[in-house]
Structure 1
Amino acid sequence: MSFLEKPRVLFYLLLFLIFGVYLSTVSRTVSFGDAGDLITAAFEMGVPHPPGYPLHTILGKLFTALIPIGEIAFRVNLVSSFFGLLTILLIYGIIYKLTKSPLAAFLGGSFLAFSTRNYFLLFCFVYGLALTNHLTIVFLAPAFLFLIIVTIRPSLKRSDLQREAEPKLQAEAKEGRTFPGSLKTFFQELFRIIPPKIIGLGLILFFVGLLPYLYLIPAASHNPLVNWDNPKTWYNAQELSGLKRILTRADYGTGRWTSTTASVIPSGRPAVYQLLFFSEMTFYQFAGLGVVLLLLGIIVLAKKRNWIDLTFLLSVFLIPSAGFMIYTNLSYTDSAALSALERFLIMPYLGAAIFIGWGIKSAADFLKEKLPQFDYRYFAILIFFPIIFHYANVDQSKNYLFYDYGRLMFDSTREVVIKKDDKAVAQPTKA
């Protein structure tokens, strides 16, 4: 057996390859966007912009303490790269479990790891932890709701549920105990389908996931430099501050998906324009070839009539990407809107990578069948395709633009500096 057919070998090969590429391209200092806010908050254990990103802040501080080399900014930047690496390895495991092909898993993970959108993993942005702290996570709800329904549907047959529940409900109705007796019967049957231990475990894990937000209260109490909304109390009406404001993102507008400064497509056929733009971004994302393999993977699952996997993965891929673009209707000709859009494609492209894995698997099987003399292991050279295509464009290791800008700005005002703090911006000005 060749080493390219050994899942464990390819797993570690992918691990060291991504680690090397990410380490060589990660930003060495402060970069653009929210990087300065998040890095400063992590270093001084402060409170960054809403909703506070406590988990990212805590992990950033941990990385600054454990990593002995590089600037503080570099160490916090590694949070994104590290968890991005773990995500790619998880995708490798999922593709291998579905296709039973180590090579398909290796290449599917590679196309995702070295795609253009993943340059967000090369500097300090919360997207290295996925979008678990962002409103757009709800765009995954349809996919997971579908998965839950098809998983428990066999338990919802009339013979299994209603046949036993109806006599109890009829007896309760005759006795005038329609409610809450019927509600009690409902939960009894629900717990028969889904064991209470599973429901209880789910609730426990849900609340455990919220525990990092408790960090915001003591963090605000020591009055750090970065202390957005000062959440040491629940709500302060006079100062318009408090934990309530930061958790509800009141400064941005609760429920608002994007910045109010980003322009939108005013009229015409916005859905058509957004779909065309989504197609263009996806083509560039996976260097063209990846899109061909993605479409091939969709076709393969459809031919296999694997409707559950196909529907779930299409929902993960299309609803948070094309669906999000159509919903927000941001103008992709506006640089602020484009910056807002492209970062949200990290999450849905996880589903695309799994389709690419299926496409590679089917292409390799086809060639083995039609051309027995062809060594399908030559597919391994595809690993270099996304690296060569995107490396120069995503490399952040030499990007000192914002570092130099900040240094020169402060150098020009080194004699007398007054800090003007309007919650969002602290800027130096000459007296």
Structure 2
Amino acid sequence: MISLCAFFVPFFVYLLSLSPTISFRDSGELITSSWTLGISHPPGYPLFNILGKLFMTIIPIGEIAFRMNLLSSIAASTTAILIFFIVKTILPKNNFLFPIFSAFTLAFLPLFWEHSVISEKYILNCLFFSLIVFLLVKLEKYHSRFYLYLFSFFLGLSFTHHFQTIFIVPASIFLILTISLKSRKKIKIQSQKPKAILLRIPYSAIFNLLLIALLFILPIALWFYLPIRAYVNPPLNWGDPDTLDKFKDHILVKHYRSYFVGSIKQQVLNLVSHLNFFSTQFKITLIFSIIGWIFLFIKKRNVFFFFFIILATNISYSIRYNIPNIEDYYLPSFIIFASLSGYGLSFIPIRKFAFIFLVFPLFSLVSQYEKIEKSSYYYAYDLGENILRDLDKNPVIFESSDNLSSPILYQRFVLNKRTDCLQISLPFLQHPWYTALLQEIYPKKFSFSITKATKVLTLSDYLGGFIDHNIDSSIYIDSPNYITTHNVFPAGLFYKVAFLQKKDISYKIRGQDKAKDQDSQITLENYNIANSLLKIVD
């Protein structure tokens, strides 16, 4: 019963702080992709799309985005209880307080909590990661093939979601080989017919290897979701992976290779910067994690090196990757540190009063609640609704950022609002697959692109060609800086390539007192700029 607290206490907090709808960045895109069974940004997240669609369909509660957010909360709470059982497994004695401490430490870690109340892919990855770690520490303790079979299956399944799974592969190989060598040393041949026994061993090993390989490969087949769905042109079809080359480019994230850095100097600078993530997230609890590392090395060296290799792999990969949200890539390491916080606490010689230390994760809960809770967070939803409200009939809109594209996608394809709108992503116009897909779906509007797109030197030229070919359409763009060939005028939150007609602008903006995060503040600033420009023109 105590173990259930590791699930239900975080889940209750997540429900109180759960976002009622979409958030900024990838949220709207991922929900739209899942709801329409489309193709998300690389590597495509087939498992996430299928699970999300199933969950949003069978759960009749709230808005569609809310259901997906609820799935994140369930996955996060399940991760917390898995941390409980990981710590319980590696502890020398049966104790519930220290596993609870670890579970709460992770559950109320600011970054983990933030992702637990919105729709993002990282929490499902945390669930798989903690499940795989749990199975391997069970394997290390009990040497049962059952855990090895489960490990193989869930490792393959995890790879159909996010490639952060690679962080655990080298460590898993190390631990499994260590367990195997340890088991072989214990084998004592007592039979009078050793040859008969030795003859049976290879066949048993071959069978096990084949079964392990099969269990790994079976879920990998989910990747065929991408070309199958791309073939029918879903509303969101990122990369259009309906050919072998485009399929490989998508799952191998060719689109993001430019974010990787080769400079050793930059990697060292990133390392110094990234190490600060641990102190920022864990604060004083980091001391218990360090104690846990020390005693794990003394007491359970195999598990120590298993955890250490995960950490080293995670860091060595992430310092080479330059993206704004790189801290998200350290969630697997945060899971390890959270697990070791309770383990380390168990060696502090004040066990009778150890429950007092629960104040640390609870302090994180209380101190971070107002900043993280999103129960009245409608900024992204309202932004998408307000943008579409300003547009004429059958408009074409060019947008250039995730914080614009995701809310608009959600409004159009999940809520079926402004289905007359043609939405075009400016950054994607540099990719041949995207212009070819637009040409295939909208042949009349893009008939110029076959001959001209290969010759244009600038984005402005491409936009100019599109406008000249679609002069009768209402065309909007989010910034005047992208186009120099035509005049644009402020028309609400976007600019219109047309004669400006005066509008009475009165936007719905809910929860302005909750505008504490950077995305919301930028959105409010954009509202003010739009209103100011309209007043100037009038």
TM-score scaled by structure 2? 0.61
Q: Provide the rounded CA distance (Å) in 1 between the counterparts of 2:98 and 2:377.
A: 34
Within-5 A mapping of 1:70-89: 70-89=62-81
In structure 2, the partner of 1:299 is 294
Contact 2:43 2:253 in 1 (8 A): yes
In structure 1, the partner of 2:329 is 344
The aligned length equals: 366
Percent identity (aligned): 27
In structure 1, the partner of 2:388 is 410
Q: Deviations over 1:13-41 (max 9, x none)?
A: 22211111111222221212221211111
Which letter does structure 1 place at the counterpart of 2:293? Answer: I
In structure 1, the partner of 2:486 is none
Q: Provide the rounded CA distance (Å) in 1 between the counterparts of 2:319 and 2:57.
A: 43
In structure 1, the partner of 2:317 is 324
Gaps (5+ residues) in structure 2? 127-157, 190-194, 397-421, 430-437, 439-474, 478-495, 498-538
Q: Provide the rounded CA distance (Å) in 2 between the counterparts of 1:144 and 1:383.
A: 29
Query: Which residue, 180, 184, 195 being the options, matches 1:152?
Result: 180
Contact 1:112 1:350 in 2 (8 A): yes
Q: Deviations over 1:258-293 (max 9, x none)?
A: xx368x69675742x33432332111211x121011
- Residue 98 (structure 1) aligned with residue 90 (structure 2): yes
Shift of 1:378: 3.1
In structure 2, the partner of 1:211 is 221
Q: Provide the rounded CA distance (Å) in 1 between the counterparts of 2:42 and 2:18.
A: 25
Q: Provide the rounded CA distance (Å) in 1 between the counterparts of 2:233 and 2:99.
A: 48
Shift of 1:110: 0.6
In structure 2, the partner of 1:127 is 122
Contact 1:117 1:345 in 2 (8 A): no
In structure 1, the partner of 2:171 is 143
Within-5 A mapping of 1:190-229: 191=202, 195-229=205-239
Q: Provide the rounded CA distance (Å) in 2 between the counterparts of 1:57 and 1:277.
A: 33
In structure 2, the partner of 1:69 is 61
Query: Which residue, 331, 334, 350 being the options, matches 1:367?
Result: 350
Question: Which is bigger in relative contact order (C-alpha 8 A, separation at least 6)?
Answer: 1
In structure 2, the partner of 1:180 is none
Which letter does structure 2 place at the counterpart of 1:356? Answer: S
Which letter does structure 2 place at the counterpart of 1:338? Answer: P
Q: Provide the rounded CA distance (Å) in 1 between the counterparts of 2:262 and 2:253.
A: 25
In structure 1, the partner of 2:251 is 247
In structure 1, the partner of 2:463 is none
Query: Which residue, 30, 36, 45 being the options, matches 2:37?
Result: 45
- Residue 25 (structure 1) aligned with residue 17 (structure 2): yes
In structure 2, the partner of 1:371 is none
Q: Deviations over 1:319-356 (max 9, x none)?
A: 31x3234333x4xxxxxx331x1111111212112211
Contact 1:317 1:349 in 2 (8 A): no
Q: Provide the rounded CA distance (Å) in 2 between the counterparts of 1:142 and 1:189.
A: 30
The alignment yields a C-alpha RMSD, in angstroms, of 3.2
In structure 2, the partner of 1:308 is 302
| DSSP 3-state at the match of 1:346 | helix
Which letter does structure 1 place at the counterpart of 2:250? Answer: I
In structure 1, the partner of 2:374 is 396
Shift of 1:195: 2.4
Query: Which residue, 257, 275, 278 being the options, matches 1:279?
Result: 275
Shift of 1:361: 1.1
Contact 2:99 2:342 in 1 (8 A): yes
160 and 303 in structure 1: CA distance in 2 versus 1, 3 angstrom threshold: closer
Q: Provide the rounded CA distance (Å) in 1 between the counterparts of 2:259 and 2:265.
A: 21
Q: Provide the rounded CA distance (Å) in 1 between the counterparts of 2:392 and 2:232.
A: 27
Q: Provide the rounded CA distance (Å) in 1 between the counterparts of 2:248 and 2:298.
A: 50
